[in-house]
Amino acid sequence: MPRLSGKIALITGGGTGIGRACALAFAREGAKVAVAGRRKEPLEAVAREIEAFGANALVVECDVVNRTAVQGGIAAVVRHFAGLDILVNNAGAIVVGSVEETSDEDWSRVIETNLTGTFLVSRAAIPALRQSGGGSIVNIGSYLGIAGRRQRAAYCAAKAGVAGLTRAMALDHAPDKIRVNCICPAMIETEMATQSLSKAPDPEVARKQRIAEIPLGRLGKPEDVAFMAVYLASDESSWVTGVSLPLDGGQTAY
């Protein structure tokens, strides 16, 4: 039997990269999947991929920092699928720079998208998860939430906040049988990573330097994150909550 058979999942930032990989993996494991994001076109493309192999999909246009849109999005999922069992908080943003180099606007954007968005979507989803008898929240953090890196001041702060929020929610909602965990990837080959590398003087040299930092000798793939997300969403991890798991090819082992 598929590992997520009969489950209903919502994935934010579901149109590209890690979100898309999670959506497809969840659907293959038997889940009904709602993909949420600001851009309708990539969401619809993912929904078509899901439906092509006979699974159920729903597109939810939603900006995770818009409280009204978040509440409406959760309501739409519950109304369409008659419940909610799994939430993947994947929507994110990054800016390169030290504290001195980070503008107020960039700081606010990175904190709001990564941390406040996770808070808002989780807060809106918890009543539906409780109504379903419990469930799983999987936050997509970063290894930079548990380690530092030059030129990533706002991003490190935001992802460290996600790790802390994960622990707090896990304790608060354990009595509701809602598990909350955080995946902390190193650099994953996504559109956001490509954009970050493109700002280096020589993007190809920067890419090779990043790979050289990873003991397993490669960047991560979106599917690497999706495999772990499936585990944390499934009953196989029924005694796992409140943890931030590095997924980094060994980078934080130094």
Pairing of strands 244-247, 32-37: unpaired
User: Which residue among 143, 155, 231, 254 is the active-site one?
Assistant: 155
SS (H, E, C) the chain: CCCCCCCEEEEECCCCHHHHHHHHHHHHCCCEEEEEECCHHHHHHHHHHHHHCCCCEEEEECCCCCHHHHHHHHHHHHHHHCCCCEEEECCCCCCCECCCCCCHHHHHHHHHHHHHHHHHHHHHHHHHHHHCCCEEEEEECCHHHCCCCCCEHHHHHHHHHHHHHHHHHHHHHHHHCEEEEEEEECCECCHHHHHHHHCCCCHHHHHHHHHHCCCCCCCECHHHHHHHHHHHHCHHHCCCCCCEEEECCCHHHC
Nearest to 158 by CA among 196, 125, 89, 109: 109
Q: 134 Cβ partners below 8 Å, 6+ apart?
A: 176, 177, 178, 179
Catalytic site includes residue 231: no
Enumerate the active-site residues: 155
